[in-house]
Amino acid sequence: MSTQRGTGPRRVTVADLREMKRRGEKIAALTAYDYLFARLVDAAGVDVVLVGDSLGQVVLGLDTTIPVTLDDMIHHARAVRRGVERGLLVVDLPFLTYQVSRQDALRNAGRVLQETGASAVKLEGGSPEIAETVATLVGAGIPVMGHLGFTPQSVHVTGVRVQGKGEEAAERMLADARRLEAAGAFSIVLELVPGALARRVSENVDIPTIGIGAGAGCDGQVLVLHDMLGLNPGFAPRFLRRFAEVGQAASEGVGDFVKSVKDGGYPGAEHTFE
């Protein structure tokens, strides 16, 4: 693999993702919220590391992403940056950090890049107003990933359900995707979208689509790390595959530790300094 200034692996860029789509090579994306997990997913070859505002639920114990603040995102993204050498680091802009005005969006997105070392930001929606915000950020040199379908920051309006059902809704989503592409977005996440529609969107834009609960027709896939590792056992939507049961193993390990401390088995003589 080529290197950058001889210091390590060359980082994935937004241009690389477009080239991957052109070649038909699938894009693998995962979330990360701390240094150790970031180092793990990056070393495993993940192309995009997303510091998602999903940290509200899986790290902070919140019910939705809405209470997550910009400072929360920056704090976690700084830790993740230290663990990522290769993957493209993308950070979610949280609720009300980009919807009020384009000036707010530019200021907040700029903070994210300056204070974390991330390469790009992600924001939700595809309305003309959001597209204008995307164009403003891209015009200032800030790469933007879009997000259509179920948008968690709008959960109180839409509920948690599949989006884009019916021809009218499908046409609207396709128009939103084209609008985001025209505004300069380098990629679009499609969440909880019918598989046929996700494939249709993917075939009608030149930028990569990354699906979550959107079928196999997208140009890549993303999952929340804690979900796919089995660390969040109460969350089991149909689209989720658990690729490991880390939660179960951790629970058993902690239980063994407690038992060993209680019965005097740990620390043993071999772990005692004389």
pLDDT of the residue at 122: 98
- Closest-CA residue to 109 (of 126, 124, 91): 91
pTM for the full predicted model:
0.93
Q: How distant is the alpha carbon of residue 82 from its chain centre?
A: 17
**The token pair that represents 169 in the structure block:** 């809704």
Residues 6+ away with beta carbon under 8 Å from 158: 150, 151
pLDDT tens-digit profile, the chain (274 residues): 444 445 678 999 999 999 999 999 999 999 999 999 999 999 999 999 999 999 999 999 999 999 999 999 999 999 999 999 999 999 999 999 999 999 999 999 999 999 999 999 999 999 999 999 999 999 999 999 999 999 999 999 998 899 999 999 999 999 999 999 999 999 999 999 999 999 999 999 999 999 999 999 999 999 999 999 999 888 888 899 999 999 999 999 999 999 999 999 998 877 666 6
H-state helical runs in 149-245: 155-158, 167-183, 195-204, 225-228
Q: For the chain, which residues make up each domain, given as ranges?
A: 14-243, 246-274
Residues 68, 259: Cα–Cα separation, whole Å:
37
**The token pair that represents 25 in the structure block:** 């090579």
Q: Report helix, strand and coil shares of the chain as percent, to nearest 5.
A: 45, 15, 40
Helical (H) or strand (E) element with 17: helix 14-23
pLDDT of the residue at 2: 43
pLDDT of the residue at 274: 67
Q: Which sequence positions are flagged as catalytic? A: 191
Q: Which residues of 217-233 are buried (b: 16+ CB within 10 A; e: fewer)?
A: bbbbbbbbbbbbbbbbe
Residues 192, 196: Cα–Cα separation, whole Å:
12
Strands 120-122 and 88-92: parallel
Task: Provide DSSP, 64-102.
Answer: SSTT--HHHHHHHHHHHHHH-SSSEEEEE--TTSSSS-H
pLDDT of the residue at 7: 64
Choosing among 3.40.50.720, 3.40.50.1220, 3.60.130.10, 3.20.20.60, the CATH entry for 14-243 is 3.20.20.60
